């Protein structure tokens, strides 16, 4: 089936006539028709006041008018398709083209491989009036050989040829219908003579604003519209001439026949009178259209007058600016003379300043000698202080031994816990809604946990004689679906690390997760509180906290099979237990992240390290902003820690994200070991607060029963290696459990061994605490 492409314009009747000629031409062939039509012109809108540039109308009205025009176009296309009847018909929209339409048509013929193209004479005018039949001649000369072109008007076929540089249009019988006029000049040519090129646009003026330079002036759009109107008038005259030839030929063809009788002649004249009456109505309509064209011409004249006045105003403005520029130039010359005089004065002052500088240099030499003497005296005082420290060390010997035992037990428990967490997959307890409500006193307000005054959706609870933290996920506007909650539980069950807050269980009904309880609350309380009780951690404890945060964050970034990120690392997301061991919470439980999120975590870690150093947000040099509440910082440790914090805060590239986090962990461990050596030399404990705080309020983690979460009275060692309160572990075994409460592994046996060493340490700790309270 062969395709015939039919190009129609805005004239609906002309379009029907073109389609009728096409169907008549190939009535005996099996063809399909593709209707080519022009898109609506979005540079202009059609209003009750005529066609206006789209820039004159607001965007809302432009959209409405364009939709209206598009609706009319779609309706006409449906009528065209219905007119074709049983012949398969489709439509193809040709968008507006900035260049000549003849080039666009040739491009379509080549790209679509059009074998037959029927074009209505109004189709070219749909794009621009200024091309007309000249564009058709260009198409006819440049078209490929495989394409057959047909030009129609009013349902008749036209041929175009050129003789002696003049164009003639002939119909199918070879009779001349109209003679094309010679090439007419454009309105721009006439307008260019009226206004020189340098005055055509305000953009050529050096004083024009940036807005005039960046966007085309409205005057240029008006010039294009006037030129189109000018060409329309010329085309209208040509059409009127063509119609006149048609009417004249028609009148010649219909002279009164002489073989008619009087009655037939009367009827014939009556018919002619009716045709004359129709002609009168047609002329009246043309007169009305002439009035409209007159109004439009008057509008164009007024616009030109306005443009002339605008150019005169600009010339006056430029003249004034030139006068002002000359005044400014004179002022600048005066200022230059004054500046030269001022420069001479400053030169004389500089010479006197150099004299003062030489005097200060001499004084600096004398002060340097005095400084040397003072440093020698200071060295003697330091040696004397060393002797005093040795005496103090003897007094604290028993206390140091106790703390070292506690640290040994805590490190041993932590190492064993990490090993079990990495090797085992825990089975967590699923609590009932009644247990959660009973433990939180039905989510009472005084059970809600707050950090520095900020209330959260976390509650302190007492469940099975154990203090825990319950976090609700069905809270306020941050409610989660059951599927999201199940994913959080599944992810948390596989995230196990000594420096991440551990999950102990969950409740599906209330959508809450049970975590271990952190007695010292969040790190922000220590760094932002002004109270005496929570005045701050000592510098050694802060170094340990930085290393513990780094350990937890590194674990998240190195999680397999896909890394995890925290997403909101800050002081409030760092919790401390009884021994001021730091643990992370509130990290993201999904895997939707990119490399920028990892870099953001490293930058947040750097900010945290700097806040541990300064007690506030970072600014200035290290020596000027160190937090004095932490005691006397060793300068070497503080500088190393500050260097790590600043480097992490300035992380930008993906390479920093991977190399930086693996290297930071090694570097911060070196700083931690150096801090341990210095702390041991001065007798400072890892868990010791500043001197104005009550250090006996800290409960070592090894003193707390893992089941009851309270200080043990009679600790006993089970076969899993952990110490428990005797009554609690017996109750556990009495319920039929044969697994460890800590590792969930099967116990080798049920025998319990008294831990007399740990009981003695607990008793000594209680005695010292009692003595300190009485003092």
pLDDT digits (tens, 9 = 90+) for 296-305: 778 878 888 8
Mean pLDDT across 331-341: 91
Question: What ranges make up the beta strands (E) of 638-720?
Answer: 715-717
490 CB-contact burial (10 Å; exposed 0-12 / middle 13-18 / buried 19+): exposed
CA angle, 248 then 252 then 256, to 5°: 135
Coil vs helix vs strand at 186: coil
pLDDT value at residue 591: 73
Q: What pLDDT score was predicted for residue 498?
A: 82
Query: Between residues 699 and 512, which one has the greater pLDDT?
Result: 512
Mean pLDDT, range 348-358, rounded to an integer: 89
Q: Is the pTM of this model over 0.75?
A: no
Please provide the size of the chain in residues.
775
pLDDT on residue 459: 92
What does the alpha-carbon distance between residue 638 and residue 606 come to, in Å, rounded to a whole number? 14
pLDDT above 90 (res 95): no
Q: What is the pLDDT of residue 687?
A: 45
Phi, psi dihedral angles at 574 (to 5 degrees): -110, 115
Percentage of the chain beyond pLDDT 70 is 71
Q: Which of 321-325, 348-352, 528-532 has the lowest mean pLDDT?
A: 528-532
Q: What percent of the chain has pLDDT over 90?
A: 14
pLDDT the model gives residue 691: 36
Residue 371: pLDDT over 70 = yes
CA–CA dist 481, 496 (Å, integer): 24
Task: Examine the pLDDT at 716 and tell me if it is beyond 70.
Answer: yes
Segment 246-296, tens digit of pLDDT = 444 444 344 566 666 777 777 677 777 777 777 888 888 888 888 887 887
pLDDT at 667 > cutoff 50: yes
The answer on pLDDT for 160 being more than 70 is no
Give the pLDDT mean for 217-238. 58
CA 770 to chain centre: 60
Instruction: Kindly indicate the confidence band of residue 232, based on its pLDDT and cuts at 50, 70 and 90.
Output: low
pLDDT at 771 over 90: no
Cβ atoms of 122 and 132 within 8 Å: the answer is: no
* Per-residue model confidence (pLDDT) at position 693: 37
Q: What is the CA radius of gyration of the chain?
A: 48
Lowest mean pLDDT among 83-92, 410-419, 534-543, 750-759: 410-419
pLDDT of 697 > 70? The answer is: no
Q: What is the pLDDT of residue 755?
A: 87
396 vs 638, residue with greater confidence = 638
Angle between the N-to-C axes of helices 539-557 and 654-682, in degrees from 0 to 180, rounded to the nearest 10: 150
- The mean per-residue pLDDT over the stretch 341-357 comes to 90
What's residue 528's pLDDT?
74
Query: Residue 465 and residue 77: Cα distance in Å, rounded?
Result: 82
Higher pLDDT, 133 or 108: 108
The pLDDT of 312-336, averaged and rounded, is 90
202 pLDDT above the threshold of 50: no
When pLDDT is averaged across residues 234-247 and rounded to a whole number, the result is 47
Q: Could you give the angle at the alpha carbon of 270 between the alpha carbons of 265 and 272, nearest 5°?
A: 95
Average pLDDT on 525-549 reads: 77
Distance CA 604, CA 646 (A): 11
Read off the pLDDT of each residue in 634-658 and give the average, rounded to a whole number.
79
In the β-sheet with 166-170, what is the strand arrangement from edge to edge? 89-94, 31-38, 2-7, 116-120, 148-153, 156-163, 166-170, 176-179
Structure tokens at 133: 């039949």
pLDDT at 740: 82
- Mean pLDDT rounded to a whole number for the chain: 76
Is pLDDT above 50 for 401? Answer: yes
Choice among 24-33, 265-274, 493-502, 615-624 with the minimum mean pLDDT: 615-624
pLDDT exceeds 80 at position 364: yes
156: part of which helix (H) or strand (E)? Answer: strand 156-163
| Model confidence pLDDT, tens digit, residues 569-613 | 999 899 998 788 899 998 888 777 778 888 888 999 999 999 999
More confident residue, 310 or 742: 310
Q: What is the pLDDT of residue 141?
A: 83
Determine phi and psi for 239, rounding to 5 degrees.
-65, -40
Q: What confidence score (pLDDT) does residue 507 get? A: 93
pLDDT tens digits, 425-478: 445 789 999 999 999 999 888 888 876 445 578 899 998 888 899 998 876 656
pLDDT, residue 183, reads 45
Q: Helix (H, G, I), strand (E, B), or coil: what is residue 461?
A: strand
Distances (CA, A) of 601 to 570, 595, 648, 679, 749: 10, 10, 9, 30, 46
Least confident of 114-118, 124-128, 436-440, 758-762: 124-128
Q: With cut-offs at 50, 70 and 90, classify the pLDDT of residue 184.
A: very low
Out of 146-160, 397-411, 674-688, which region has the weakest mean confidence (pLDDT)?
Answer: 397-411
pLDDT exceeds 60 at position 106? yes
Cα 166 from Cα 183, distance rounded (Å)? 9
The mean-pLDDT minimum among 209-218, 256-265, 309-318 falls in 209-218
- C-alpha 497/C-alpha 562 separation (Å) is 17
Average pLDDT over residues 496-501: 86
What's residue 513's pLDDT? 93
* Residue 706: pLDDT over 90: no
Q: Which of 168-177, 233-242, 493-502, 528-537 has the highest mean predicted lDDT (pLDDT)?
A: 493-502
């Amino acid at each position: 089936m062969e395709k015939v492409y039919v190009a129609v314009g805005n004239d609906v009747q002309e379009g029907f006539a073109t389609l009728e000629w096409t169907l008549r031409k190939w009535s005996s062939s099996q063809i399909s028709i593709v209707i080519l039509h022009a898109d609506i012109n979005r540079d202009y809108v059609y209003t009750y006041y005529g066609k206006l540039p789209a820039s004159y109308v607001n965007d809302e009205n432009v959209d409405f008018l364009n939709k209206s025009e598009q609706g009319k176009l779609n309706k006409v296309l449906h009528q065209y398709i219905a007119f074709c009847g049983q012949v398969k018909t489709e439509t193809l929209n040709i968008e507006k083209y900035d260049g000549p339409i003849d080039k666009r048509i040739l491009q379509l013929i080549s790209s679509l491989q059009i074998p037959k193209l029927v074009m209505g004479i109004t189709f070219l005018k749909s794009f621009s009036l200024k091309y007309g039949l000249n564009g058709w001649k260009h198409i006819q000369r440049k078209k490929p050989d495989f394409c057959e072109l047909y030009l129609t008007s009013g349902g008749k076929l036209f041929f175009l040829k050129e003789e002696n540089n003049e164009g003639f249009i002939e119909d199918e019988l070879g009779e001349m219908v109209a003679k094309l006029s010679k090439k007419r000049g454009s309105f721009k040519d006439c307008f260019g003579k009226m206004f020189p090129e340098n005055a055509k646009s305000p953009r050529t003026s050096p004083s024009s604003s940036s807005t005039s330079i960046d966007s085309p002036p409205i005057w240029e759009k008006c010039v294009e519209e006037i030129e189109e109107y000018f060409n329309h008038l010329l085309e209208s005259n040509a059409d009127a001439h063509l119609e006149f030839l048609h009417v004249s030929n028609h009148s010649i063809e219909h002279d009164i026949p002489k073989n008619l009788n009087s009655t037939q002649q009367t009827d014939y004249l009556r018919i002619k009178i009716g045709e004359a009456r129709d002609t009168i109505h047609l002329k009246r309509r043309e007169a009305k259209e002439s009035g409209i064209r007159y109004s439009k011409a008057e509008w164009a004249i007024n616009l030109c007058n306005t443009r002339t006045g605008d150019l005169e105003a600009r010339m006056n403005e430029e003249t004034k600016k030139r006068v002002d520029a000359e005044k400014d130039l004179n002022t600048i010359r005066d200022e230059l003379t004054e500046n030269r005089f001022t420069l001479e004065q400053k030169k004389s002052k500089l010479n006197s300043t150099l004299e003062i500088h030489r005097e200060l240099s001499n004084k600096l030499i004398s002060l340097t000698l005095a400084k040397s003497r003072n440093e020698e005296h200071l060295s003697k005082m330091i040696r004397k202080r060393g002797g005093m420290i040795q005496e103090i060390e003897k007094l604290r010997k028993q206390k140091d031994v106790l703390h070292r035992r506690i640290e040994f037990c805590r490190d041993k428990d932590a190492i064993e816990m990490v090993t079990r967490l990495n090797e085992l997959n825990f089975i967590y307890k699923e609590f009932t809604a009644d247990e959660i409500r009973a433990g939180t006193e039905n989510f009472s307000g005084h059970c809600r946990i707050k950090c520095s005054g900020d209330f959260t959706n976390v509650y302190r609870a007492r469940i099975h004689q154990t203090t825990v933290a319950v976090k609700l996920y069905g809270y306020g506007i941050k409610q989660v679906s059951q599927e999201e909650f199940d994913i959080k539980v599944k992810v948390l069950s596989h995230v196990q690390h000594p420096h991440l807050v551990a999950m102990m269980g969950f409740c599906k009904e209330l959508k809450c997760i049970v975590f271990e309880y952190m007695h010292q609350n969040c790190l922000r309380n220590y760094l932002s509180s002004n109270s005496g009780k929570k005045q701050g951690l000592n510098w050694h404890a802060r170094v340990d906290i930085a290393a513990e945060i780094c350990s937890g964050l590194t674990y998240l970034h190195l999680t397999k099979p896909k890394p995890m990120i925290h997403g909101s690392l800050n002081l409030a997301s760092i919790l401390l237990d009884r021994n001021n061991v730091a643990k992370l919470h509130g990290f993201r439980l999904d895997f939707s992240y990119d490399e920028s999120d990892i870099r953001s975590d490293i930058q947040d870690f750097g900010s945290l390290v700097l806040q541990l150093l300064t007690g506030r947000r970072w600014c200035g040099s290290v020596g000027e902003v160190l937090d004095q509440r932490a005691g006397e910082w060793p300068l070497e440790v503080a500088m190393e820690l500050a260097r790590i914090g600043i480097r992490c805060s300035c992380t930008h590239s993906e390479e920093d994200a991977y190399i930086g986090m693996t290297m930071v962990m090694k570097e911060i461990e070196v700083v931690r070991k150096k801090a341990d050596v210095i702390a041991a030399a001065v007798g400072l404990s890892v868990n010791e607060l500043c001197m104005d705080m009550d250090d006996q309020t800290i409960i070592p983690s090894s003193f707390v029963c893992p089941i009851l979460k309270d200080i043990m009275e009679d600790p006993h060692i089970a076969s899993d290696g952990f110490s428990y309160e005797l009554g609690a572990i017996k109750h556990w075994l009495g319920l039929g459990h044969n697994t460890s409460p800590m590792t969930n592994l099967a116990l080798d046996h049920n025998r319990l061994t008294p831990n007399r060493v740990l009981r003695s340490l607990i008793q000594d700790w209680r005695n010292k605490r009692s003595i300190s309270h009485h003092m």
